[in-house]
Chain A
Amino acid sequence: MSHHNVQTDEQVLKKPNKILLMGNPNVGKSIFFTELTGIHAVSGNYAGTTVSFMEGPVVIGGKEYTLIDVPGTYSLKPTSEAEAVAARFMESGAVAVICVLDASNLERNLRLAMELTLYEIPIVYTLNMMDVAERHGVVIDMTQLRRDLVAPVIETVAVKGKGLDELLRQLEVVLKAAESSGYSCGKCEGCPWAAARDICNRACTRNASASPSFMDKLGDAMMKPMPGIPIALLVMALAIGVIVGGGELLIHFLLEPLVDYIIVPFFYNIFASLLPEGILLNILVGEFGIFVISFEWILALIFPFVLMFYVAFTFLEDTGFLPRMSVLFDNIMRKLGTQGGSLIHVLMGYGCAVPAIIGTRAATSRKERIIISAAIAFAIPCISQSGALIALLAGYAWWMLPAMIAFSLLLFVVVTLVVGKIIKGKVDPLLIEVPNLLIPSPKSYGRKLLTRMKHFLKDAQIPMMIAILIAAILAESGLLGIIANAAQPIVSGWLGLPAEAVTALILGIVRREMSVAPLLALDLNALQAFVGGAVSLMYLPCLSVFAILTKEFKVRIAVTIGLSTVVLAIFVGGLINQVGQLFV
């Protein structure tokens, strides 16, 4: 995921020839960035999708500049770690600023613009979302706006690429002029609000006969408890149906036959004709061979669920559904010691914990960041792991998967409450802007989905291959037997699993789904499958999560979370087994 490459600010801050893309949250900055640099920035319809910054080259008038997609901010007086980045960039100096204005929300957007003018850096304004403004009955006089801002103002429809050529032309002009001739305020009383209001009032005409569109009405209805909550629950149920059902269909009708009948035999035939029977051949194409397991696990087990997850999640993210969830379920999250806004990061965590934990930078308090990051590490299975869990539990009773979901929710509640008690400080209450409900643009939806799948394949491949190589070597070298023997009291005695299940605990260090996948081949009974699933759910987050926890917080927090997950997994897993034994 693009979020994975979090650079140190310092190097980028020092770069010469920076052009900053600035604006309020959720005005479409990331789409400009993608259109201008060709680098895909992940955007979504809620404040705080870009919590770090992205940089990319852009050529204007034959000269190369570094375009920086700065996290959205309402003001240069930052209220979260993500917003602080914006203020630092303005202070670092830039040759020009592209200030993206949301036409449907002009006054508040101009207020940030007023703060930007204080830096005396040339600014080009783009006025985005004119269609939404018109729908709301607001007509904007561009000439008046240009006159008041003393700068170029370009009407754009970023998702369709409209107005971008003009933007580049105007940038070239202001860069040549090299000095700011723009509006500069900040001295008069009540500024920047007063100035923003004056400019907005002069440029906007309100048309009282605005008629809300169907999406506006639906968007409003989805914010009210009735029918918002039933709609939200229905959408969630549908999303789970699409992910589980779609994933299973892909596996059974496409990927499993492809792997079992075409890919694996293909590699088997090649290697069997080149190599004699023995350890090496087994490591390559034996039961746990690299060329067997990697396809069986990655292509026919994990990938289809990852794909279906992002098909659903990307859609919901682009519509503006997620902040509505935050509002509707803030009361529950508040009782858990956090606030509705963190629900967005939790839902992201069902995809991958790494961007979810980075995403918590949008949170206004450190305590909230730690609570949610810990809850994600302990109780929220990433989609790779969920895929493996679905495969593991599907073979038994129908209720096992719902039971596992209930268990994970219970775990989430407990972890959130406990961590909230341990960490000192306060969590700030919910305070978010709820964006208009939108139908995602097919172009940006498709592009985002493609980027996410590419990143998944790129990021997941190497750790998966390492895990598979370890599995192959353990199985073929006889080392597994020795470790299994040593771990038997815990694995078999306490957890009630076959001794070989220790493979899952070893591989689970590398990646989460690897703590489930080895169990698939062990012929477990229903109780063992549930215990194995529960242990893997609680067990260590993967190496990348450990790395990001260390980076975002402190080594101490990462180690504490890591160790506690192992202890909890073994302890609670064993309890489930011991209690379960009484009923079996």
Chain B
Amino acid sequence: MSKIINLYEAKKNGVFQVTSVPDIGLLENLGLRNGTKVVVESRYALGGPVLLRIENTFAVAIGKDIATQIAVKEVVRQ
């Protein structure tokens, strides 16, 4: 069982499963819900966002202050 961390700490190129999200309409609308599988594609210095690929389809950038409120756990690649 992998440890639950916040999305902002998630390492680049890792595959993660979302375990909890803050109540933000746009997050849900973009498909970021409990259970959503995401890949961290890029991270940015100086408090920049986290760039995710959601369910292998589209890219979403999430600002630091939201990313820290999203909990994820790493999915071990087969």
A residues lining the B interface (CB < 8 Å): 74-75, 77-79, 104-105, 107-108, 111, 136, 193, 220, 223-225, 323, 326-328, 330-332, 334-335, 339-340, 364, 428-434
A residues within 8 A CB of B44? 225, 327-328, 330-331
Q: Which positions 24-62 of chain B face chain A at CB distance < 8 Å?
A: 24-31, 33, 41-42, 44-49, 51, 55, 57-62
Q: In the complex, what's the smallest C-beta–C-beta distance from B63 to chain A, in angstroms?
A: 3
- Within 8 Å of chain A (Cβ to Cβ): is B65? yes
List residues of chain B with CB within 8 A of the CB of A429.
Answer: 49, 62-66
A331, B51: Cα distance in complex, Å:
13
Smallest CB gap from B59: residue in A: A434
Instruction: Determine if B57 and A331 form an interchain contact, defined as CB atoms under 8 angstroms apart.
Output: no
Given A225-B42, A327-B51, the answer on whether A340 and B29 have CB atoms closer than 8 Å is: no
| Structural contact, B29 and A107, CB atoms closer than 8 A | no
CA distance A79 to B61 in the complex (A): 17
Interfacial chain B residues near A428, Cβ < 8 Å? 24, 63
Using a CB–CB cutoff of 8 Å, the interface residues on chain B facing chain A are: 24-31, 33, 41-42, 44-49, 51, 55, 57-66
A430 touches B47 (CB 8 A): no
- Quote the shortest CB–CB distance from A94 to chain B (angstroms): 22
- 20 additional contacts (CB under 8 A) given A332-B46, A340-B63, A433-B58: A74-B30, A75-B25, A105-B57, A105-B58, A108-B57, A223-B51, A225-B48, A327-B48, A328-B44, A330-B61, A331-B45, A335-B47, A339-B63, A428-B24, A429-B49, A429-B65, A430-B62, A431-B30, A431-B61, A434-B61
Closest residue of A by beta carbon distance from B26? A79
What are 17 pairs between A and B in contact, CB < 8 Å?
Answer: A74-B26, A74-B29, A78-B25, A104-B58, A108-B58, A111-B31, A193-B33, A223-B41, A330-B44, A340-B49, A340-B61, A340-B63, A428-B24, A429-B63, A431-B62, A432-B60, A433-B58
The reply to whether B55 and A364 contact each other, CB–CB distance below 8 Å, is: no
Q: How many Å from the CB of B13 to the closest CB on chain A?
A: 11
Q: What are the residues of chain A within 8 A of B65 when measuring CB–CB?
A: 334, 429
Q: Is the CB of A331 within 8 A of B48?
A: yes
Q: Give min CB distance, B77 to chain A, whole Å.
A: 15
Complex CA distance for A327 and B60, rounded to whole angstroms = 9
Measured CB to CB, the closest approach of chain A to B34, in angstroms, equals 11
**Residue in B29, B55, B64 whose beta carbon sits within 8 Å of that of A75 in the complex:** B29
Contact of B29 among A77, A326, A331 (CB under 8 A): A77
Minimum CB–CB distance for B60 against chain A, Å: 5
Q: Give Cα A327–Cα B49 distance, bound, in whole angstroms.
A: 7
**A74-B30, A75-B25, A107-B55 known; A431+B60 contact, CB < 8 A:** yes
Which residues of chain A are near B59, meaning CB under 8 Å?
Answer: 223, 433-434
Sort A-B residue pairs by CB-CB distance and give the 8 closest, nearest first: A429-B63, A74-B29, A430-B63, A331-B48, A429-B65, A331-B46, A75-B29, A434-B59
Q: Count of A-B contacts with CB under 8 A?
A: 107
> CA of A331 to CA of B64 in the docked complex: distance in angstroms?
9
Please determine whether A79 and B51 come into contact, CB atoms closer than 8 angstroms.
no
Known contacts A107-B55, A225-B42, A331-B45; decide if A430 and B25 are in contact (CB<8 Å): no
Residues of A near B47 (CB, < 8 A) are 331, 334-335
**Main DSSP-derived SS at the B contact region:** mixed
Judge whether B27 and A431 touch: CB under 8 Å. yes
A223, B27: Cβ atoms closer than 8 Å: no
**A364 x B26 contact (CB < 8 A):** yes
Shortest Cβ gap from A192 to chain B (Å): 11
- Is A79 a contact of B25 with CB atoms below 8 Å? yes
Residues A334 and B30 in contact, CB atoms below 8 Å apart: no
| Contact across chains for B25 and A77 when beta carbons are under 8 A apart | yes
How far is the CB of A494 from the nearest CB of chain B, in Å?
40
User: Are A224's CB and B29's CB within 8 A?
Assistant: no
A contact residues around B57 at 8 Å (CB): 104-105, 107-108, 136
Complex Cα distance, B44 from A327, in Å, reads: 9
B61's contact among A78, A136, A432, by CB below 8 Å, is which? A432
Q: Which residues of B contact A220 (CB under 8 A)?
A: 41
Chain B hits for A332, CB < 8 A: 46
B42: chain A residues at CB < 8 Å are 223-225
A349 to chain B, nearest CB (A): 22
CA distance A323 to B49 in the complex (A): 13
| B63 lies within 8 A of A334 (CB) | yes
Minimal beta-carbon separation of A342 from chain B (angstroms):
12
Least CB distance from A27 to B in Å reads 12
Bound: A327/B51 CA distance, A: 8
The 8 Å CB contact of A330, one of B26, B33, B63, is B63
Chain A residues with CB under 8 A of B45: 225, 331
Asked if B33 contacts A431 (CB within 8 A), the reply is no
Q: How far is the CA of A74 from the CA of B27 in the complex (A)?
A: 10
What CA separation (Å) do A78 and B45 show in the bound complex?
A: 31
The complex places the Cα of A431 from the Cα of B25 at a distance, in Å, of 11
A326 to B63, CA, bound (A): 11
The CB with the most chain B CB atoms within 10 A, among A78, A224, A428, A430, is that of A430
On chain A, the residues within 8 Å of B41 by CB distance are 220, 223-224
Complex interface: chain A residues within 8 A of B62 (CB): 429-431
CB within 8 Å for A330 and B48 given contacts A74-B30, A77-B25, A79-B29: yes
A498 to B56 CA separation, bound complex (whole angstroms): 64
> How far apart are the CA atoms of A105 and B28 in the complex, in Å?
15
Which residues of B sit under 8 angstroms from A111, Cβ to Cβ? 31
Q: Closest CB of chain A to B58's CB: distance in Å?
A: 5
A326 contacts B61, C-beta separation under 8 Å:
yes
A88 CB to nearest B CB, Å = 16
Q: Contact check, B63 vs A108: say whether CB atoms are below 8 A apart.
A: no
Alpha-carbon distance A74/B26, docked complex (angstroms): 8
Query: Complex formed: what's the CA distance from A432 to B51 in Å?
Result: 10
A399 to chain B, nearest CB (A): 29
Query: In the complex, what distance in Å separates the CA atom of A193 from the CA atom of B47?
Result: 32
